């Protein structure tokens, strides 16, 4: 009698095991979906936070599916003379494959500040860091420091270095980056050089380092120095700044979609947990 009862309990357990595994798989799958949507919401929130950041480029979360368990291979035999026309594959969820930068043009903002520069088209300004490393930016909000050197908001120099002599009355920066300074005691302007524009084969591969700066990576390729307006690089507009390319309406729509997807994954976890509890309660 004891052995018979033991055998019955074991049989029930073996029958329940596949169902329990299926419920655990559903829990794990829903959890991966929640994690992916959490990353998606984080990306959207960063876009919204930078809606007024000069030269900011919005980011997009890209999600891909995970591996599949093949229960029945499509094309396998279903009988001696027939084949399975449709296979059976069970997915294991989703994950974030990447967060892509979108380098579409932002709206121009007229400032009439002679040191504000906007790139109309592709490319970046070069910024010289304190360790002499060159980083890249779309933020053209420049000014001069106490030595007359053209710098950004953090005091980092524009590449190459431009130094304005004392007594400058006005500054003219052409669309090709040529920079001229008009002195109070001279008729002819002083040529200070030319602002280059840097382009990359794969700008999406640039690494964001904060402060509106990007660092070169193996994925982006080496920086290509161009004269503004040539070789597909953008021209320079003086007295303007490039606004963020974030659309609040699009971001709010994406946020609602991500929230709904997160909620549905959480409901799936709840349903899977209830089903697993039902299986466990079978006597």
235-273 pLDDT, tens digit each: 999 999 999 999 999 999 999 999 999 999 999 989 888
pLDDT band, residue 178 (cuts 50/70/90): very high
State residue 276's pLDDT score.
Answer: 81
Contacts of 239 (CB under 8 A, 6+ apart): 110, 111, 112, 113, 114, 116
Examine the pLDDT at 26 and tell me if it is beyond 90.
Answer: no
CB 255 within 8 A of CB 6: no
- Compute the average pLDDT of residues 7-26: 54
- Best CA proximity match to 43, nearest among 25, 60, 20: 60
Size of the chain, expressed as the number of residues it contains:
283
In contact, 247 and 119? CB cutoff 8 Å: no
Which helix (H) or strand (E) segment holds residue 265: the answer is helix 248-280
- Determine the pLDDT at residue 274: 87
Per the DSSP assignment, residues forming a β-bridge with 108 are 242
State yes or no: pLDDT of 125 exceeds 90.
yes
In this predicted structure, what is the pLDDT of residue 95?
A: 95
pLDDT of residue 283: 64
Using CA atoms, how far apart are residues 30 and 40, in angstroms rounded to an integer? 15
Region 270-281: mean pLDDT is: 83
Helices and strands, number each (H, E), in the chain: 2, 20
Grade residue 203 by pLDDT with cuts at 50, 70 and 90.
Answer: very high
Could you report the per-residue pLDDT of 100-120, keeping only the tens digit for each?
999 999 999 999 999 999 999
Q: Is pLDDT of 277 > 80?
A: yes
Q: Could you give the CA distance from residue 76 to residue 79 in angstroms, rounded to a whole number?
A: 9
Residue 281 pLDDT level (bands cut at 50, 70, 90): confident
Q: Residue 22 pLDDT > 90, yes or no?
A: no
Q: CB-side exposure of 95: number of CA atoms within 13 Å?
A: 6
Average pLDDT over residues 190-214: 96
> Domain extents for the chain?
2-103+247-280, 108-242
* Residue pLDDT, tens place only, 48-69: 999 999 999 999 999 999 999 8
Mean of the per-residue pLDDT values of the chain? 90
Total-model pTM: 0.85
Residue from 21, 18, 29, 94 nearest 267 by CA: 29
Residue 124 neighbours by CB under 8 Å, 6+ apart: 136, 137, 138, 197, 198, 199, 200, 203, 214, 223
């Amino acid at each position: 009698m004891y052995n018979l009862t033991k055998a019955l309990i074991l049989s029930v357990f073996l029958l329940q095991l596949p169902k329990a595994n299926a419920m655990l798989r559903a829990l794990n799958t829903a959890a991966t979906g929640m994690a992916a949507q959490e990353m998606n919401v984080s990306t959207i929130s960063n876009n919204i936070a930078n809606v007024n950041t000069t030269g900011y480029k919005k980011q997009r979360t890209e999600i891909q599916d995970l591996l599949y368990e093949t229960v029945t291979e499509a094309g396998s035999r279903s009988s001696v003379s027939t084949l399975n026309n449709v296979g059976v594959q069970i997915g294991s969820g989703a994950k974030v494959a990447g967060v892509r930068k979108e380098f579409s043009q932002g709206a121009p903002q007229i400032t009439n500040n002679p040191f504000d520069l906007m790139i109309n088209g592709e490319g970046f300004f070069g910024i010289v860091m304190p360790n002499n490393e060159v980083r890249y930016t779309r933020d053209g909000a420049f000014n001069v420091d106490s030595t007359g050197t053209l710098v950004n908001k953090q005091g980092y120099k524009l590449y190459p270095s431009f130094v304005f002599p004392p007594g400058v009355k006005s500054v003219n920066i052409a669309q090709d980056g040529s920079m001229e300074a008009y002195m109070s005691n001279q008729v002819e302007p002083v040529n200070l050089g030319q602002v280059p524009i840097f382009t990359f084969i794969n700008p999406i591969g640039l690494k964001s380092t904060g402060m509106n700066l990007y660092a070169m990576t193996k994925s982006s390729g080496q920086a290509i120095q161009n004269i503004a307006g040539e070789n597909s690089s953008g021209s320079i507009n003086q007295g303007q700044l490039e606004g963020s390319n974030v659309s609040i309406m699009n971001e709010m729509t994406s946020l609602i979609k991500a929230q709904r997807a997160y909620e549905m994954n959480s409901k799936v976890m709840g349903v899977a947990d209830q089903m697993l509890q039902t299986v466990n309660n079978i006597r």
